[in-house]
Amino acid sequence: MSTVHVVVPEGVDDPARPSGGNVYDRRVCDGLAAAGWDVRELRVPGAWPRPAATGRAELARLVAGVPDGGLLVVDGLLASGADDVLVPAARRLRLVVLVHLPQEGEAEAAVLGSAHAVLTTSDWTRRRLAERYGLRPERLFVAHPGVDLLEPATRTDGGARLLCVGAVAPHKGQDVLLTALADLTDRRWTCTLVGSLDVDPAFTARMRDQAAGLGVRFAGPHTGAALRRDYRAADVLLLPSRGETYGMVAAEALSAGVPVIASDVGGVPEALGRTDRGLPGLLVPPGNPRALAAAIAAWLENGELRRRLRSAAAARRATLEPWTATVANVAAVLHAAAGEPARGQVRVPG
C-alpha cells in the first residue's frame, strides 16, 4: 500500500464555504483512499496564504512529522505562503504541490521550484506557471476536475431560469452580473445566486442593495443534493468571474446538459470544451456588463440559439470525465514523484 500525506485547509469540509479547491481536495483524498492508498490528511488552520503565526507553526509541526522520504502533497493555497517550511522539507520529502489558483509571488516561486512535481487543475494553469516561474515542463502535470453526471435538466421554453453559482465576492463578478441584469428588466427571467454570503460581507451587502427590485434571489451556499437540484432546475448557468483557473461549476452545469454563459478567462474554455455541435455556451469579455447583458438577451430572445446551445451542452455532457479519471491522473503523478513504476497515465500537455 502506498502512503501519502496530504496537507489541506482546516475548513476543507466546511459546508458554509464550499469552494472548487476544497471539493477537488476532498474528492481526490477520498478517491485515493478508495483506490487503496493510505491517505493521511493533515489539516492546517489559518487564513492562508497569509496565516497567523499559529497556522504556520502548526504546518511546520505536521510536516516535521512526515517520515524522511515520505510523499507529501500540499494544497497550493497553503504552499504559496509557506516557503520557509516547505523548501527545507523538500530536501528530505517527496513534495508535490497541488495548485488550484496561482498566487504569483516569490514564496510560491520558491516552493514550486523545490517541489518534485507540481500538479495543476487546468492546462491554462500549467502554462501560466511555466511562463511565470520557468518551471521544467517534465515536472508540471494536469488533472482536470471530474464531475458526477446528473440527470438532464428540466427546461422551460423561454430559458428564463438563470443560475449563478459561486461565493459572493468581487472575483466572482456578481456586480458585473447584476449590472447586466439591470439592463434586462423588460424581459422575463428569474435569477438565483448560490454561494457563500460571508466571504466578503461588505461586498455581499452592496450586492443585496444593487439587486433590490431586480427579483434576484440570494440562496446562500448549497452542496450535495441541494446543488444538484439547482443545476437540474436551471436553464442556463451564468459565470461572470473576473478570473477562473478552470471553472468547475461550468462543468457541473454541463453534466446536467445546462449551457453556460461565462467570462472568457483562464481555464473556463477548457471546462466548456467543444463538441461537433459547437461550443456549449457563450463566452464574453470579463468585467464587461454590456457584453454579458447582450449574451443573456440573445439567450432569452433567440429560440434557435437556445436549441443549438442545448444540443451542444448535451453533447458535452457525454464527454465529461468522472472523478475516478481525476484520481487516476493524480495517482500516476504521485507514483512518479515517489519514484515508483508508473501505474497509469501521467498527463503532460504538449
Q: What is the pLDDT of residue 49?
A: 87
Q: What is the pLDDT of residue 344?
A: 43
Cβ-in-10-Å burial (0-12, 13-18, 19+) of 189 comes to buried
What CATH number is given to the structural domain containing 304?
3.40.50.2000
Residue 278 lies in a domain: yes
Predicted model pTM: 0.92
Q: What is the DSSP string of 43-104?
A: EE-SSTTS--HHHHHHHHHHHHTSPTT-EEEEEHHHHTT-HHHHHHHTTTSEEEEEESS---
Same domain (yes/no): 168, 310: yes
Same domain (yes/no): 168, 138: no
Same domain (yes/no): 249, 329: no
Residues of the chain with pLDDT under 50: 342-350
Residue 204 lies in a domain: yes
Residue 49 lies in a domain: yes
Residue 348 lies in a domain: no
Same domain (yes/no): 254, 177: yes
Residue 106 lies in a domain: yes
Distance (Å, rounded) from C-alpha 285 to C-alpha 272?
Answer: 15
Q: Which residues pair with 322 in a beta bridge?
A: 147
Residue 138 lies in a domain: yes
Of the CA atoms within 13 Å of residue 168, those in its CB half-sphere come to 27
Same domain (yes/no): 29, 176: no
Q: Mind listing the pLDDT tens digit for each residue in 27-75?
A: 999 999 999 999 999 999 988 888 889 999 999 999 999 999 999 999 9
Same domain (yes/no): 125, 198: no
Same domain (yes/no): 264, 119: no
Residue 155 lies in a domain: no
Q: What is the pLDDT of residue 1?
A: 62
What does DSSP assign to residue 322?
B
Same domain (yes/no): 207, 77: no
Same domain (yes/no): 174, 133: no
Q: What is the pLDDT of residue 192?
A: 98
Same domain (yes/no): 75, 219: no
Q: What is the pLDDT of residue 340?
A: 63
Same domain (yes/no): 187, 302: yes
Which structural domain range is residue 28 located in? 3-146+322-337
Q: What is the pLDDT of residue 232?
A: 96
Of the CA atoms within 13 Å of residue 108, those in its CB half-sphere come to 24
Same domain (yes/no): 208, 141: no
Decide: helix, strand or coil at residue 7: strand
What is the number of domains present in the chain? 2
Residue 99 lies in a domain: yes
